[in-house]
Structure formats: structure tokens, C-alpha cells
Structure 1
Amino acid sequence: MATHLITGAGSGIGAAVARRLHERGDDLLLLARDAGRAKELASLFPGARTLVGDLANPDRLSWALAQQSVPDRLDSLLHIAGVIDLGPIGELTPKTWHSQLNVNLVAPAELTRLLLPQLRISHGQVIFVNSGAGLSANAQWGAYAASKHGLKALADALRQEEKPHGVRVTSVYPGRTAGPMQAKVHQQEGKEYDAARWIDPESVATALLAALDLPRDAQIDDVTVRPGR
């Protein structure tokens, strides 16, 4: 039975991935920002274990994990959590920059650093759910795109560094995907939100699981998923 640590399992793509892995009987370790959220995740995925660690405060992740029981080995680390706040560069405050950079880039880097020993033991896999904004930046998307461009750099460097240890690294770049984050984006853009226009989170989950389940004689470095309609 494979063991996966997942961030962002409470909604959207993260929930779809966690549900699929849970249904096939894999062992899940779900990261929650606080004890209340951990309780919610445990009720959503009976039998799954939870860890508490706030991605918005990456400096505290090492301390947080040290207070809890972490498996000796992990088959995958799935970075799916993310936050977004749109706005023109001329109006973005340091607080807005830091909030997105911390959750979308610094926390994944720190969590990966802390869990690499367990991933190396299993010759496991790190998957970063990035974004189309990690490949191209548009107006109003500067801070979010910067965090996701940084996430691409993190994945690319990690892939080269961990190849000798047998750890695979994959980046998934979804286009606009239905879910709470997309609803927030539309609100910030002043547009009406219609989930049917965008990618179903289950479709992104299918692409992610294809990379995760690929036989060990190959690896998928980058996957781009775009709306089909």
C-alpha cells in the first residue's frame, strides 16, 4: 500500500486526488492548517491520518512536524494547496506578495526539504500542482504568477538534484479549473462564474494520477491540462 502526503485535500483538485487515492485503498496523510481543519479532513476521508501545519507560516513547519508522527517513508508528496489574490503590481502590498509566495512557493520548498529523507527511502515522487500562470503571466496576476514561476524553478532544480536518489518530480499545469479558487478569481475579476465552462477537478486528478502511477522505467516531468471547450 502506497503512502501519500497531500496538501490542499479539502477542496478542488486536492479533494479529487485524495478521494481517488482513498477509494483505491492507499494510505493518506493529509496536511491541515489547524486542528479544526484536520478534524474536517478526517471526517471526509475515514481512516486517513492528518498532520497540522500552516503553509502560510513556513518558518514553523519544521517545528510543527517535529511535534507529530511522520512516517518513516513516503511514496509521494503532493503539493496541491494554493492561494490567489489578483491586482495590479502598482497596488499590491508586501502582505499580498508574502501571503502568496509563502503558501505557493516557500512552504512547498520547506515541506519538500523536511520530507526528502522519507521520499528517498521509497524512491518516491514529488508532484507540484502549478498553474498556467506558472508558464505565462498576465495583467493583474503578477504576484500569483511570480509564485508559480518560482514553483516551476523549484521543481526543475529538484528534479535534477534528486535524480541520483531515484525521486521523480512532476509539475502539473492546469488551466482554469472549477472550484472555490476559480469562484474567487471570477469575483475578483468582476465576472459571473459558471463552473461548467472550466475543467472538472476530476480531469486534473486523472492527469496527476497518470504521472504518479507511471511505471518506474519512465517519468513525466511536465503535464499541461487545458479546458476542452
Structure 2
Amino acid sequence: MTTHLVTGAGSGIGAVLADRLQGRGDHLVLLARTTARADELAERYPGSQVVVADLADASALERISGLPEEIDSLHHVAGVVELGCVAEQGSEVLSHHLAVNLVAPAILTRRCLPALRRTRGTVVFVNSSAGLSANADWSAYAASKFGLRGFADALRAEEVEHGVRVTTIFPSRTATPMQEKVHEQEGRTYDASRWIAPSTVVDTILHVLDLPDDASIPEVTVRPVLPRAT
């Protein structure tokens, strides 16, 4: 049975991805920050393996036990965002972004590499358009996402000899609870119809997973059709 490890399955892109993968009859390994969220995921995805680990806690990620010996794909979907200008943002905000958006994927990837090598599997980093260009008030988030892109590039170069494929997906604004929170921080009205549907990003991920063995997609950018409202 094909096995996928997914972070961020509680909502947004991660939830749609978990739905689709389970619908294909695949086995899911899901990370949950709390036992309460773990219970929710276990009920929603019967038969899945749910692991409790806070992505902000590097030591907890190092202590995870019971990971499968074979993993066909690893999906880094979870993330945090908190807008603010450099002059006013405390160091704890930057540290939290780096811990969840960069350090956690790095640790999980290292922990899963032996299992991914056995299957010649795929690592998917759901990054952001903020990992390609940074705007005012996005310094902490963009810094973590720029770092994640660099980590993925290095991983891709290192793991090609083991047959592990690495893809970074850069979605622009997507209609998720995180995007609704961003609009609140920006003081703007949230209109989900203007943004990419989570299912569209998931379609892109599944296309990456279903590629023949003779090809890989290192990076792909997904943008909404409608221009940003002023």
C-alpha cells in the first residue's frame, strides 16, 4: 500500500490533500499538534496513523517514534504566518516562523529519508509565492519560505542519486483559513472567490506524485487568474 506523511491535514490544502489521498485507497501518516487535534484526524481518516508532535518543538520532532519503514511521499503543508514590519516585530515571531516553516520540515525530512529512499519516493514542499519575492510586512514569513526553498534545492541535489524526487510548489494566495487570517491582519475584506481553490493546489501535487519514473518537476508556481483587488 502506498504511504504518505502529511503535515497540516487539519485544514486548508492539507485537509484536501489528505481527503484525496485517502480516497485513492492510500495509507496516511498525519502529524497533529495536540491530542485533541489527533483525535479529530483519527476520526476523519479512519485507518490512518496519527502522530502527536508540535512542529514548533524541534526536540519533540526528534523523539517521534513508530514512523513507517517505507514512505512513498512526504508533504510539508503546515505553516504559520504573522504579518508585521521589521521595526516592530519581536524576535519571538521570527523564531516561531523559522521553527515551524523551516526547521520542522528539515527535521522531518531527515527523519524520513531512509523510508523515502527505500521507495524512491517524493518530497513535496508547499511553499508560497512569498518564497519567491518578499513584500513589506512579510519579513518573517518570507524569510522562512526563502530558507525552505534553499533547503529543498540542496536536498534535491543530494538525493538524486538515491532516486528521491523533490518538488517545491509556490501557490499564491489560496482560499484557506490562513488566507482569511492574513486578510484580517491586512484590514482587507476576504473574498474566497478571488483566490486559488485548495483543490487546485492539490491537483498540482497529485500530478507531481503521478509522474512517470523518468521525470521530475523541481518547482511549479500556481497563481490566481484574477488580479489582486486594490
- TM-score, length of structure 2 as denominator length: 0.97
Match of 2:48 in 1: 48
Residue 101 of structure 2 is aligned to residue 73 of structure 1: no
Bigger drift between 80-89 and 52-61 goes to 52-61
Match of 2:172 in 1: 175
Match of 1:199 in 2: 196
Match of 1:127 in 2: 124
After superposing on structure 2, the runs of 4+ consecutive aligned residues of structure 1 that deviate more than 6 Å are none
1:89 partner SS: coil
Residue 75 of structure 2 is aligned to residue 82 of structure 1: no
Q: Distance in 2 between matches of 1:117 and 1:139?
A: 40
Match of 2:219 in 1: 222
For the aligned residue pairs, the C-alpha RMSD in angstroms reads: 0.7
Q: Distance in 1 between matches of 2:130 and 2:146?
A: 7
1:10 positional shift:
0.7
1:86 positional shift:
0.3
Q: Deviations over 1:159-215 (max 9, x none)?
A: 000011110000000000001100100000011111111110000000111011111
1:54 positional shift:
0.7
Q: Distance in 1 between matches of 2:58 and 2:104?
A: 5
1:81 positional shift:
0.2
Question: Structure 1: which 5+ residue stretches go unaligned?
Answer: none
Q: Distance in 1 between matches of 2:139 and 2:108?
A: 24
Number of residue pairs aligned between Structure 1 and Structure 2: 226
1:48 positional shift:
1.4
1:218 partner SS: coil
Question: Structure 2: which 5+ residue stretches go unaligned?
Answer: none
Q: Deviations over 1:67-104 (max 9, x none)?
A: xx211110011000000000001111111001111000
Q: Distance in 2 between matches of 1:227 and 1:44?
A: 29
Q: Distance in 2 between matches of 1:60 and 1:42?
A: 20
1:59 positional shift:
2.6
Match of 1:101 in 2: 98
1:77 partner SS: strand
> Percent of aligned pairs with the same residue?
58
1:49 positional shift:
1.4
Given candidates 141, 144, 166, the residue that maps to 1:144 is 141
Q: Distance in 2 between matches of 1:163 and 1:59?
A: 28
